[in-house]
Chains A and B, each alone.
Chain A
Amino acid sequence: MAQIELSGIERIFKLGDSEVHALHELSVSIECGEYVAVMGPSGSGKSTLLNLLGLLDRPNAGTYRLEGRDVTTLSPDEQAEVRRTRIGFVFQSFHLVPRLTAAENIALPLMLAGIPPAERHTRVAQALKDFGLEPRASHRPEELSGGQRQRVAIARATIMRPAVILADEPTGNLDRTTGQDVTHLLEELNASGVTLIVVTHDPVMGGRARRRLMMEDGRLLQDVREPAPA
């Protein structure tokens, strides 16, 4: 059983009288621990796919099974719980809460999950250490560099130890070297067993993934797999 199974997914946006098929007849399955890059021209439906995978959006048709469970029919609260416990998001624009410190931003998912403050504290301290953010713990996002912000965001995405990390152009707002750092960070996480699905325009980054989903006009054009590098 694959970790993620999409079959016959349709996502249609209605704009006035016209309809946009953001996703069309999309079927794909992803195994646990895979490293997948989603690529394709602008408007091809990459973000729409990622939002669906992250349960932020519902398909108009088709089924989505996550870890064997049909998650499209779950109630909003059940979906929120799946997001909270199984999925980590990383965004192009970081999406840190500006008034909270780095440590508080990282602690957000733990707070939402109702984890007691003492445990929260140790887990956040560990994450700050793991991501080299210790000296920045009490800084607010505006006092951090882009790379540091994305590291805080990745720490936040992984603090609940999710099964899947969904990253939408995580290096899009970063310069080349910082972007590479972030890519390495995500790959390290993947190496520890977390499924990593990255939307990217960067062919270099895409080339590093062992599997590439090439999208166009809401369809899956190509599904390229490479043997794992020795």
Chain B
Amino acid sequence: MTPADTLRFATRAATGYPLRTALMVLAMSIGVAAVVILTALGDGARRYVVNEFSALGSNLVIVLPGRTATGGFGLGNLITSTPRDLTVRDAEALLRAPLVTRMAPLSVGNSEIAYGGRLREAMVVGTNGDYVDIRAFRMAEGSFLPREDLGRASAVAVLGTKLREELFGSEPAVGRMVRVGDRRLRVIGVLGKTGQGLGMNTDELVFMPVATAQAMFNTNNLFRIIVEARSREAIGPAKQQLEDIMRLRREGELDVTLITQDAVLGTFDRILGALTMAVAGIAAISLAVAGILVMNVMLVAVTQRTAEIGLLKALGATGRNIRLAFLTEAALLSLAGAITGYALGHLGAWGLRLAFPVLPAWPPDWAVFAGIGTALTTGILFGVMPARRAARLDPVQALSRR
């Protein structure tokens, strides 16, 4: 019996019992579809988070005061005890690292901002002119903070787009004077819409030179320093150089923490990746169940077709012929189920993307392969036993059954 004939024979057998075949294909396809949809959801969530973080800028190292033991990323080590202040002088020193291209100090505090009769609570960010480039923000109006000596407390401010909206409405904002805390500052620019980034909504911030902010809050302290490395690959060595500089400035003791965006991203990536795997694993269980169903259906098929098997043996079929025919049939049913499930899964993922446009719910390639692979493997594995049973049937008894 040639392979082509085996295939044709098995196809005829599968299509000869349409209801049985349809049910089995359905069971198998639900399993595969579950894998495809659930991994699309999981991986979509992962990609969503990764994209959100990537929006921060690509090769950043964040320096914060205080030392944490682990160096890993978690909410706990964002708040660190502060043995020594991080100053503007530190920030300037960091620029001497050869692998560092740009740097932005951050001084943060809460204040109120007023224009005309309108008054609002707002978060103040004191920084420098490079911040806008490091974060890759777009300006909606005017320009960002001037590039000048960090010690100069110019009386200028840049507003987030939402803040501008609330204070000025349709009036022009650039050139107007606003009051922030006890100071009067000239608005020189408005940021374009940026949306969320690391919990701070940039659209509601007011930016001013770091010296202005520090004077306003009466502090020498920096909240963070954001450093941009030359390239993604340079992040590791750059971090080393930054640590060396800081150690030199602290008499050999390193009392700052350096967080790379890779570490942050990596953590989320790992958590959500593991979640996706777990979800895929759960979905795969439904495939195993489908596999058991394949086995049962094939066992029933063997019983139903006992007389036919006896006949084939009388016509000179070898045990191998019969085993292969039944195995091929099981494989075909699984394949049909896998393909249907794949299509259903993509349909489901498409539905997810329609329902949640922000979620890039595309099933990852590995999940699609794993789903279809598992379907085929379980189908064939669970088809082996019925096929062997068929091949071992005693032809005389098989023929006497009707």
Given contacts A57-B396, A80-B318, A95-B314, 12 further A-B contacts (CB under 8 A): A56-B395, A57-B395, A77-B318, A83-B314, A83-B316, A84-B316, A91-B399, A95-B310, A112-B312, A112-B317, A113-B316, A114-B2
Spell out A's residues near B (CB within 8 Å).
Answer: 51, 54, 56-57, 76-77, 80-85, 87, 89, 91, 93, 95, 97-100, 104, 108-109, 111-114, 156, 160
**In the assembled complex, how far is the CB of residue A223 from the closest CB belonging to chain B, in whole angstroms?**
25
Residues of chain A lying within 8 A (CB to CB) of residue B9: 111
Q: Which B residues contact A (CB, under 8 angstroms)? A: 1-2, 5, 9, 12-13, 16-17, 307-308, 310-321, 395-396, 399, 402
Q: Please give the distance in Å from B402's CB to the nearest CB on chain A.
A: 6
Taking the closest CB of chain A, its distance from the CB of B126, in whole angstroms, is 82
Contact B318 A95 (CB under 8 A): no
Query: Interface of chain B, helix or strand or loop or mixed?
Result: helix
A29 to B166, CA, bound (A): 112
Chain B residues closer than 8 Å to A54, beta-carbon distance: 314
Name the A residues within 8 Å of B396 (CB-CB): 51, 56-57
CB-contact partner of B16 in A56, A99, A160, under 8 A:
A99
> Which residues of the other chain, A, contact B312 by a CB distance below 8 angstroms?
108, 112
A selection of 12 A-B contacts at a CB cut-off of 8 Å is A51-B396, A56-B313, A56-B395, A57-B396, A76-B318, A77-B318, A84-B316, A84-B317, A95-B308, A108-B312, A113-B316, A160-B316
Bound Cα distance A74, B319 (Å): 14
Q: Is the CB of A97 within 8 A of B316?
A: no
Contact A97 B311 (CB under 8 A): yes
What A residues does B399 contact at CB under 8 A?
56, 91, 95
Select the residue from A87, A97, A114 with max chain B CB neighbours within 10 A: A97
| Nearest CB of B to A170, in Å | 14
A100 touches B12 (CB 8 A): yes
A80 and B322 CA atoms in complex are apart in Å by 12
Q: Which of A89, A99, A109, A113 contacts B13 (CB 8 A)?
A: A99
Judging by beta carbons under 8 Å apart, are B315 and A84 in contact?
yes
Q: Which residues of A contact B320 (CB under 8 A)?
A: 77
From B1, B307, B317, B321, A95 is in contact (CB under 8 Å) with: B307
Q: A156 contacts B16, CB within 8 Å?
A: no
Top 9 A-B pairs ranked by shortest CB distance?
A: A84-B316, A99-B16, A83-B316, A80-B318, A95-B311, A56-B395, A89-B314, A109-B315, A111-B5
* A94 CB → nearest B CB, Å: 10
Q: How far is the CA of A80 from the CA of B309 in the complex (A)?
A: 13
Name the residue of chain A whose CB is nearest to the CB of B402.
A93
Residues of chain B contacted by A93 (CB below 8 angstroms): 402
B317 close to A97 (CB less than 8 A): no
Is A112's CB under 8 angstroms from B13's CB?
Answer: no
Point out the residues of chain A lying under 8 angstroms from B307, CB to CB: 95
Distance of A156 Cα from B312 Cα, bound (Å): 12
Bound Cα distance A56, B13 (Å) = 24
Known: A112-B321, A114-B1. A99 touches B315 (CB 8 A): no
- For residue A51, which residues in chain B have a CB less than 8 angstroms away from its CB? 396
Q: Which residue of A lies closest to B391 (CB)?
A: A76
Question: What is the CA–CA distance of A100 and B15 in the complex, to the nearest angstrom?
Answer: 11
Known contacts A112-B1, A112-B312, A114-B2; is-contact A80 B317 (Cβ 8 Å)? yes
Once bound together, how far apart are the Cα atoms of A93 and B1, in whole Å?
Answer: 26
Alpha-carbon separation in the docked complex, A114 to B5 (Å): 8
Query: How long is the Cα–Cα vector from A56 to B320 in the complex, in angstroms?
Result: 16
Report the minimal beta-carbon distance from A147 to chain B, rounded to whole angstroms. 19
Name the CB-closest residue of B to A109: B315
Task: Report the bound CA distance from A99 to B9 in whole Å.
Answer: 10
Complex contact B315–A89 (CB within 8 A): yes
| CA of A98 to CA of B1, assembled, Å | 20
Neighbouring A residues of B16 by C-beta, 8 Å: 98-99
| Closest beta carbon of chain B to A126's beta carbon, Å | 19
B402 to chain A: which residues have CB within 8 Å?
93
Contacts of A95 in B (CB 8 A): 307-308, 310-311, 314, 399
